[in-house]
Amino acid sequence: MTASRPRAVLFDFGGVIWNMRWDVCRALEAEHGLALNSVFTTLYRTETWAAVERGRGDREAWLAEAHAALERLAGRALPPLHAAWRAAQEPIRETVALIRALRPAYRLGVLSNADATLRARLTDVVKIADAFDDIVCSAEVGVAKPEPEIYALACARIGLAPAACVFVDDNEPNVSAAGAAGLRAVHYRVDRGDDLAAQLAAAGVRAPRP
């Protein structure tokens, strides 16, 4: 039996719409003699972040704790490296253009593990919030990827069965969980030169020709 044509695309934010600039992260670590991934892990691999991304923590306390943890690893005072990394990040222009091109042929949504600033960033920084039918932010709904409940919620809120939805994420565990939840899943990595338009086309999603 032939699979039905996808009718919706759900996008992760960080790494898919927003360029995390892993090159800058690695350069900061090298410049300050830090172990690989220490800037990332002190920010995003902590119990404090797990609470913040589920809407149960304080964002400023999380950022302060991450800096303190990085200084403990270094054994010395450090400049605000997390802030420097975040300041270098920027929208992925190709993704933003692709999202615009997919409207109105597909229903579009965001499904992101993010703190409560996500909607403001989509609206005021990336200026793309108006292109989406729905935005599921983990801090607003209290669950986070790869928990299966958040995929079911995102599909329900966009009004389609999981089989009619394609999900794009840069984190493989989230991609695998989406597939297990019945969505067609795309693993996209801008830092390795992936072509998202081609990946979506392979999943059955093609922007209409102008």
CATH number at residue 94: 3.40.50.1000
Could you tell me if 82 and 67 are in contact, meaning their C-beta atoms sit under 8 angstroms apart?
A: yes
**Same domain membership, residue 73 and residue 105:** no
Which of these, 41, 23, 16, lies nearest to 128 by C-alpha position? Answer: 16
**Strand, coil or helix: what is 132?**
coil
Choosing from 68, 88, 108, the residue where a domain stops is 88
Q: Specify the pLDDT at position 24.
A: 98
**Same domain membership, residue 98 and residue 135:** yes
Please check whether residue 125 lies inside any domain of the structure. Answer: yes
pLDDT per residue over 18-33, tens digit each?
Answer: 999 999 999 999 999 9
Q: Specify the pLDDT at position 3.
A: 61
Residue segments in the chain with a per-residue pLDDT below the cut of 70: 1-3, 210
**Same domain membership, residue 164 and residue 142:** yes
> Which domain covers residue 161, as residue numbers?
8-19+89-202
Q: Specify the pLDDT at position 2.
A: 44
Q: Report residue 79 as tokens.
A: 């400049």
Q: Specify the pLDDT at position 66.
A: 98
Which of these, 89, 110, 84, 122, lies nearest to 169 by C-alpha position? Answer: 110
Q: What's the residue count for the chain?
A: 210
Please check whether residue 210 lies inside any domain of the structure. Answer: no
**Same domain membership, residue 105 and residue 68:** no
**Same domain membership, residue 103 and residue 166:** yes
Q: Specify the pLDDT at position 208.
A: 86
Choosing from 88, 112, 131, the residue where a domain stops is 88
What 8-state DSSP symbol labels residue 14? B
**Same domain membership, residue 58 and residue 132:** no
Please check whether residue 128 lies inside any domain of the structure. Answer: yes
**Same domain membership, residue 141 and residue 112:** yes
Q: Report residue 57 as tokens.
A: 């923590």
Could you give the number of structural domains in the chain? Answer: 2
**Same domain membership, residue 112 and residue 30:** no
**Same domain membership, residue 34 and residue 105:** no
Please check whether residue 3 lies inside any domain of the structure. Answer: no
Q: Specify the pLDDT at position 1.
A: 36
Q: What is the pTM of this model?
A: 0.95
Buried b (16+ CB within 10 A) or exposed e, 117-154: ebeebbeeebebbebbbbbbbbbebebbbbbeebbebb
**Same domain membership, residue 159 and residue 110:** yes
Q: For strand 184-187 and strand 165-169, is the pairing parallel, antiparallel, or unpaired?
A: parallel
**Same domain membership, residue 41 and residue 15:** no
**Same domain membership, residue 139 and residue 118:** yes
Distance between CA atoms of 22 and 182, rounded to whole angstroms? 30
